[in-house]
Structure 1
Amino acid sequence: MAFFKPYTPREPEDYDAPIIDAIISIANTDYGADYVSAKAIKNSDIFAAVSIIAQDIASSEIELRENGIAKENDDLSYLLNVKPNELTDAWHFKFAMIANTLLNGNSYARIIRDKQRNPVRLDFIPVSEMTVSVENNSKVVYVHKLDSKEIKYKSEDILHLKIFSTDGISGVSPLLSLKPELQQQQAGKKLLTTFFKRGAFSSGILSVKQSNLDNEARGSIRKKFEAANTGSSNAMATIVMDETMEYTPIEINTEVLNLVNNSIYSTKQIAKVFQVPFDRMGIETVNTSMETANLNYLTNTLTHYFKAFSAEMNVKLLSYPQNISTRLVFNADRLKEVDPVKKIDITAKKQQNGIFTVNESRKEYGLPPIPGGDVTLVSLNYVPLDMLGQIQKDKQNNNQPTVEGGGQDEGQRNSVSTH
């Protein structure tokens, strides 16, 4: 019995069919299906959808939070947000990981650890070089094919991002569901391209009078006539024929061209598969503010990606029992605060209600701390529920409610500070 049993992800029947000029290519190996990285993104809608999601996730800082509180100047945060390895910066590393996940269904990075098993480096591995195996149906093993060598890694040493998975082990590319839509879009673009390549010169019938031509002769005349009168360089040019030839154009229904040119069906299908709101794909929407659109995008799109990627990082980059109370979380505050005036109002309210100190409010705008700015301010208008009866009784006796710790002047009644 072999120690490593080949693992083959469940696939549709036409899984190995090419998808529009090999946007992605899939090869079968001894280890199962091997996803090969995209060589070119020829479809502009797919390029836009992948770029939008990958850019927004790569631009979101990853915070290490202990009991819900973000830790600063942490080595793991530096690894994920500044410099994951010697070859690239964190933004492009995260972009490459997300883009591969969206296009191929999977992305991989090797986790290099120090002697204390703490992550110190993340090395990106192309999808074409990695396959997944299951050892004795109990442990997941990653096989890295590098040149003629095969290197096996334990599951905890590979950061494996995936979104759609039917078994929790390997991801599936969302492009597989878009084959009909991509073919339809490609056919429409081909029709428009052919029309304009001919210089808007429509099809027609060329008659040669008083002749008995065979197929070869007719083909030769047609080619020479098209070469002389079609193409962008011959657009609006004069057609010259002798008396033995007669050309009758065939009218084209321009409504068909308008339908192809204005069709957004395929764009909507691509946006739906990647869960990208229509407005971000250039499709006009009505009665939607920027703030509402951002909140919808964050809630219905990015949150799912954040959760999936955080789940993998919390297991692979944090050890037990550290990951019981500590989490790696994406910070998406920049998408929530579009209006600068509203941000000022929210920051002020957080400070007034004791959520922010003065220095924390200043930090939101990149301002340096000030002396005494780490004091929390709270309003005296808020009292414990069990004191409400006593305060009401004091008011009836025309007495002012007392504040524990001595009397206070008029300015101090509005707010107090706590350390």
Structure 2
Amino acid sequence: MPIFKPKVFDSLEVGQQSIPFSDPDIINFLSPGTPSKYVSASEALQNSDVYSIVMQLSGDLATIKLKADKTRSQGILDKPSVTSNTHSFWQSMYAQLLIGGEAFAYRWRNLNGIDLRWEYLRPSQVSPFLLEDGSGLIYNVSFDEPQIGVIQAIPQSDIIHIRLMSKNGGMTGMSPLSALANEMNIKNSSDKLTLAALAQSIISPGVLKVNKGGLLDAKQKSARSKQFMQQVNNSNNGPIVIDDLEDYTPLEIKSNVAALLNQVNWTSTQIAKVYGVPDSYLNGSGDQQSSLEMTSKFYVTALNRYMRSILSELNDKLSANISADIRPAVDPLGDSFATTLSGLAKDGTIGSNQATWVLQQVGYFPNDMPEAKKNPVQQLVIGNQSKGGDNNAEESND
């Protein structure tokens, strides 16, 4: 922490959004004067497609195994928090990254600079500032613990700050939700239109017509309607019995309203496009020409794209060489990996013993698995048996 208070720029000049995402009056500091271009996280997560893609991506990213070449770095990666388990901590970090474009964690370290634990920070708790000479960033952090309160001018080496795409040279991240402002507005308008169309098109389940010149007043008609619906509800899905004086005609949804219901989910494709994953992962129709293997490759590419941003920050702050094993996230059972090794063994690229060893290292086979035993192959010789010695004699004479 610096001895003298440095002269810094305001956090707005570096594009940081330091107010809570749940604030209903949140505005977009990156585009002043156009507040409608920002989508708050609380509003976006009410959309099932946004929630689904954030839940899936953050969960898969948290499943990826982070490996460091230093024991101390590996230890803090395996157990970063004391208030939650490892998977929950990393999923919270990655979910915030996908929603807000950046995620924060404070590094609690001892006097020797060794990480003891990391504390997850909400964006509303953090305000970054740019030093006057542009040599780095410092952070003001408001902790939830009353005895800690606000700590000012925290050096950037003490803050884990993961960013996605940036508009200011990588100092802060840009929320992917900002690209969904128009889609979310159209989605809300489409929902209102659909509800209005349904309310106007399906007023009653059907029409009960009284024939033979029946004259009923309003009260009698209402009473007969209630009696008929009571009969329907008490029939246990059985047939409805009416006499010759009545005709019942059920109403159907109009074709234009049915078409409207089928078109309100078009935003799924837009949301999948923003997050870079195939729309089939959001239960969309997807590309009917693409295979399952191709779709899986697109998803792996998307995971790797996000993981590059994560590894870059971790490598910089921990001063270690950290790699990511994506296989547990995309191939949890290991069947695809085993199939690939089997193909390499059949082609002669690797030996069968090497393939078995690799599968044991990843836990697909147990280490104490006995060696394979080959069944003996019985050879049968089928031929014509000659009788007597005449033929043998002739063959010997020839």
TM-score (norm 1): 0.62
Q: Specify which of 93, 100, 107 is matched with residue 104 of structure 1.
A: 100
Task: Kindly state the Cα deviation for residue 134 of structure 1 after the two structures are TM-superposed.
Answer: 1.1
Q: 2: distance between equivalents of 1:23 and 1:275? A: 28
Distance 1:199 1:260 in 2: 13
After superposing the two structures, state which structure 1 stretch, 157-166 or 135-144, moved more.
135-144
Does the C-alpha gap of structure 1 residues 273 and 144 become closer, same or farther in structure 2, counting only changes over 3 Å?
Answer: same
**Aligned runs of 1:56-67 on 2, under 5 Å?**
56-65=60-69
Shift in Å, 1:92: 0.9
In the alignment, is residue 190 of structure 1 matched against residue 186 of structure 2?
A: no
- Kindly provide the amino acid, as one letter, of the partner of residue 112 in structure 1: W
- Residue 327 of structure 2: aligned partner: 333
Query: For each residue in 1:197-237, what CA deviation from the matched residue of structure 2 results, as whole angstroms up to 9, or x when unmatched?
Result: 568229xxxxxxxxxxxxxxxxxxxxxxxxxx9xxx99x99
**Alignment of structure 1 residues 6-405 onto 2, 5 Å:** 6-9=10-13, 25-26=26-27, 38-39=41-42, 41-65=45-69, 74-81=71-78, 83-136=79-132, 137-146=134-143, 149-152=149-152, 153-167=154-168, 168-196=170-198, 200-201=202-203, 254-284=255-285, 285-299=287-301, 301-318=302-319, 323=320, 327-334=321-328, 335=330, 339=336, 342-343=339-340, 345=342, 348=345, 352-353=350-351, 356=354, 359-370=357-368
- Counterpart-to-counterpart distance in 1, 2:150 and 2:366: 52
Q: Displacement, 1:93?
A: 0.8
Unaligned runs of 5+ in 1: 29-34, 66-70, 203-228, 238-250, 374-419
Greater strand share, 1 or 2?
1
Specify whether residues 146 and 352 from structure 1 end up closer, same or farther in structure 2 by C-alpha distance, changes over 3 A only: closer
Q: Which amino acid aligns with 1:105?
A: G
Q: In 2, are the aligned partners of 1:37 and 1:127 still within 8 Å (CA)? A: no
- Higher RCO (CA 8 Å, separation ≥ 6 residues): 2
Structure 2: gaps (5+ residues): 30-37, 205-224, 234-251, 372-398
Tell whether the 8 Å contact from 1:9 to 1:170 is kept in structure 2 after alignment: no
- Give the deviation of 1:255 after TM superposition: 1.6
**2 CA distance for matches of 1:281 and 1:173?**
20
Alpha-carbon offset, residue 4 of structure 1 = 2.4
Distance (whole Å) between structure 2 residues aligned to residue 259 and residue 333 of structure 1: 41
In structure 2, what is the Cα distance between the partners aligned to 1:10 and 1:110?
20
Indicate how the Cα distance of structure 1 residues 339 and 127 shifts in structure 2: closer, same or farther if over 3 A, else same. Answer: same
Shift of 1:7: 2.7
Length-normalised TM-score, structure 2: 0.64
Whether the 8 Å contact between 1:195 and 1:201 is mirrored in structure 2 is no
| CA deviation profile, 1:12-42 (whole Å, cap 9, x unmatched) | xxx99x99x97893587xxxxxx99844621
2:54/2:98 contact within 8 Å kept? yes
Note if contact 2:201-2:253 (Cα within 8 Å) is conserved in structure 1.
no
**1:350-388 superposed Cα distances (whole Å, 9 cap, x missing partner):** 993599485443233354435999xxxxxxxxxxxxxxx
Q: CA deviation at 1:297?
A: 1.3
CA distance in 2, matches of 1:24, 1:258: 35
**Rounded Cα–Cα distance in structure 1 between residues aligned with 2:335 and 2:122:** 36
Q: Displacement of 1:303 after TM fit?
A: 1.5
- In the alignment, the residues of structure 1 paired with residue 313 and residue 61 of structure 2 have an alpha-carbon distance, to the nearest angstrom, of 15
Higher mean C-alpha deviation, range 345-354 or range 38-47: 345-354
Q: Radius of gyration: which is bigger? A: 2
Counterpart of 2:12 in 1: which secondary structure? coil
How large is the RMSD of aligned CA atoms in angstroms? 4.1
**How far apart, in 2, do the equivalents of 1:200 and 1:276 lie?**
37
Instruction: Give the C-alpha shift of residue 252 in structure 1.
Output: 9.6
The residue type equivalent to 2:363 in the other structure is Y
* Distance (Å, rounded) in 2 between the aligned partners of 1:278 and 1:355: 40
For the Cα contact (< 8 Å) 1:25–1:38, is it kept in 2? Answer: no
- SS class of match (1:8): helix
Distance in 2 between the 1:355 and 1:372 partners?
Answer: 12
Report Cα offsets for 1:37-60 as digits up to 9, x if no partner. Answer: 844621111111211211110111
Distance 1:270 1:180 in 2: 11
Deviations 1:268-293 (A, max 9, x none): 11111111211111112323333221
**One-letter identity of the residue aligned with 1:339:** S
Q: Distance in 1 between matches of 2:312 and 2:6?
A: 32
- Structure 1 position 109, deviation (Å): 0.3
Contact 2:277 2:298 in 1 (8 A): no
Residue identity over aligned pairs, in percent, reads: 22
Q: Distance in 1 between matches of 2:119 and 2:359?
A: 37
The letter for the 2-side match of 1:52 is Q
Tell me the matched-pair count. 304
Task: Check conservation: 2:108, 2:116, Cα contact below 8 A.
Answer: yes
Change (3 A) 1:192 1:141: same
Aligned-partner SS, 2:113:
coil
How has the CA–CA distance of structure 1 residues 357 and 46 changed in structure 2, closer, same or farther, with 3 Å as cutoff? closer
Separation of aligned partners in 1, 2:361 and 2:282: 34
Q: 1:24–1:39: 8 Å Cα contact kept in structure 2?
A: no
